[in-house]
Amino acid sequence: MEEIPLKNLNHAEMPQIVTEVPGPRSRAIRTREDKHISPGLSAVALISGLAMSDGLGALVRDVDGNIFIDFSSGAVVTVTGHSHPKVVEAIQSQIGKFVHIYDYGSDIRAEFLDLLAETAPVGIDTFQMFTAGAETVEGGMRLAKAATKQHEFISLFRGFHGKTVGALSAMGGNYKKGFGPLAAGIVQTPNAYCYRCPLNLTFPSCNVACADFIENVFEQQTTGQVAAVMLEAIQGAGGVIVPPAEFMTKIQAFCKRNNILLFVDEVLTSAGRTGKMWATDHYDIQPDIITMGKGIASGFPLGIVGSSSKLMENWPWNQYNGGTSTFGGSPVSAAAALATLKVIKEENLVEHGAALGFYIKSRLLLLKDKHISIGDVRGVGMLMAIEFVQSRDTKERITQEQAEFLYREILKRGVLVASAAPIMRITPPLVLDEVLADRALDLIDEAISAFESKYHFG
């Protein structure tokens, strides 16, 4: 049977679930893959059991013909939606000329860098391209070392920076477990997780003591040779944690007082994800180094380290090959990213994401009034999360088994969310429209009711 193009579908009739989920074709593909694929895939890939066919905008179709509303953007990536025609066209046209020609100059990269410099936070005008976010974060760390001739880093509790050793050493949480020894000289300081304050205080009477705590960490846990404080301005994978403005202002002041660079990892928050072009733009701060990734090329693998040209002029970063990698600087990545920046501008996606994100969050807050398993709703723009708890008094999180049940309830109704964990992330493409948003939210509401009834909440 001929499949209907996703662009011809009526959004009021979405999603469209035509088989059990996963359906027979998904199951057959996954069984075949399972013979050879490494087991550590994402929880959402493993739990859903889905094999995908195609996507357009905020719609995703699996191989059984089920059409889902995408509240995930894959791994929080596709800001311009799936297969935006202008991004696809730009990639296709460039790939016909060169797939790879190392990092020789190209017209397309020159145009991209001009536009990126116009768009980047104040003071950031020089860039080195890489591929994955982790590799890019490592690049940012090398740049910080080259620029300061210092070698230590302070990062945040619950930070997420990638799975290479330097980046991993800067992370909080579970991903580090079992992978020691990690890099020396990288220590963590409390984040502003106000729902579960690491210092057991309450905002605003705490006067953001978590930010002041960095003085203790600097004093007690470092040798005083700190190159940079590296953090996400808004933490993504750690649970969508949006710090109060004072937190970031205090951290910046600490950096300035001690001649330490401020390195903001914007891999996840790049390209309008948070309702501003960069998460940095929500705060009165001026980072010395930023890393970009994920949405910056709409899903084509690209990571970028940005700073002032002065910072990049330091040895050994500035020597021949000092910043390169095999796939860094490819004209195809540049074409994808240039098209992404143009689409974001032409379609006012930052403003649209901010407004629609605000609307979605207000509906999530109404769900919180209705469902007692919701402990907290937070986020900004199209980066949101619901934290589920057994009880609002104890704030004990729901179990992983419960979270997986809830994820499946949402999935079988036709909505893809970004995580199958007690902190459920909601991160739709910025091109989502209000009709699809409302449909997905109605279904999430229904799924939470089914979840609460199964586990006898209330």
Q: Pick the piece of the chain touching ligand PLP (CB under 6 A) from 131-139, 147-155, 243-251, 273-281.
A: 131-139
Q: For the CB of residue 103, give the shortest distance to ligand PLP in the complex, in Å.
A: 19
Query: What count of other Cβ atoms lies within 10 Å of the Cβ of residue 257?
Result: 10
Q: For the CB of residue 270, give the shortest distance to ligand PLP in the complex, in Å.
A: 9
For position 160 contacting ligand PLP by CB under 6 A, the verdict is yes
Nearer to ligand PLP, 21 or 137 (CB): 137
For position 133 contacting ligand PLP by CB under 6 A, the verdict is yes
- Please state whether the peptide bond connecting residue 204 to the residue before it is cis, i.e. omega within 30 degrees of 0: yes
How many angstroms separate the CA atoms of 398 and 27, rounded?
28
Q: Is the dihedral of CA 360, 366, 369, 373 positive or negative?
A: negative
Q: Pick the piece of the chain touching ligand PLP (CB under 6 A) from 128-136, 328-336, 347-355, 426-434.
A: 128-136
For position 293 contacting ligand PLP by CB under 6 A, the verdict is yes
Among positions 61, 82, 142, 161, the unique one binding ligand PLP when judged by CB under 6 A = 161
Among positions 146, 206, 237, 447, the unique one binding ligand PLP when judged by CB under 6 A = 237
Q: Pick the piece of the chain touching ligand PLP (CB under 6 A) from 129-137, 138-146, 147-155, 306-314.
A: 129-137
Beta bridge partners of 56: 59
For position 267 contacting ligand PLP by CB under 6 A, the verdict is yes
**Contacts with 376 (C-beta within 8 Å, 6 or more apart), sequence order:** 195, 368, 385, 386, 387, 389
Q: For the CB of residue 313, give the shortest distance to ligand PLP in the complex, in Å.
A: 25
Among positions 81, 162, 299, 414, the unique one binding ligand PLP when judged by CB under 6 A = 162
Residue with tokens 């929880």: 43
Residues 390-419 that bind ligand PLP (CB under 6 A): none
For position 140 contacting ligand PLP by CB under 6 A, the verdict is no
For position 138 contacting ligand PLP by CB under 6 A, the verdict is no
Nearer to ligand PLP, 378 or 413 (CB): 378
Q: For the CB of residue 302, give the shortest distance to ligand PLP in the complex, in Å.
A: 10
For position 379 contacting ligand PLP by CB under 6 A, the verdict is no
Residue 382 contacts residue 352 (beta carbons within 8 Å): no
Query: What count of other Cβ atoms lies within 10 Å of the Cβ of residue 426?
Result: 25
Binding pattern for the stretch 64-93 against ligand PLP, x by CB under 6 A and - elsewhere: ------------------------------
Q: For the CB of residue 266, give the shortest distance to ligand PLP in the complex, in Å.
A: 7
Q: Pick the piece of the chain touching ligand PLP (CB under 6 A) from 10-18, 55-63, 86-94, 232-240.
A: 232-240
Nearer to ligand PLP, 81 or 238 (CB): 238
How many angstroms separate the CA atoms of 385 and 239, rounded?
7
For position 232 contacting ligand PLP by CB under 6 A, the verdict is yes
Can you list the positions of beta strands (E) in 257-319? 261-266, 289-292, 303-307
How many angstroms separate the CA atoms of 426 and 338, rounded?
26
3-state SS assignment for residue 368: helix
How many angstroms separate the CA atoms of 107 and 334, rounded?
10
Among positions 57, 139, 166, 236, the unique one binding ligand PLP when judged by CB under 6 A = 236
Residue with tokens 């937070």: 378
Residue 69 contacts residue 414 (beta carbons within 8 Å): yes
How many angstroms separate the CA atoms of 225 and 218, rounded?
9
Residue 97 contacts residue 331 (beta carbons within 8 Å): yes
The H or E element spanning position 383 is strand 383-388
Among positions 62, 103, 152, 265, the unique one binding ligand PLP when judged by CB under 6 A = 265
For position 268 contacting ligand PLP by CB under 6 A, the verdict is yes
* Whole-Å CA distances, 13 to 6, 248, 374, 392: 12, 43, 28, 36
Sites of contact with ligand PLP (CB under 6 A): 132-134, 137, 160-162, 232, 236-237, 265, 267-268, 293
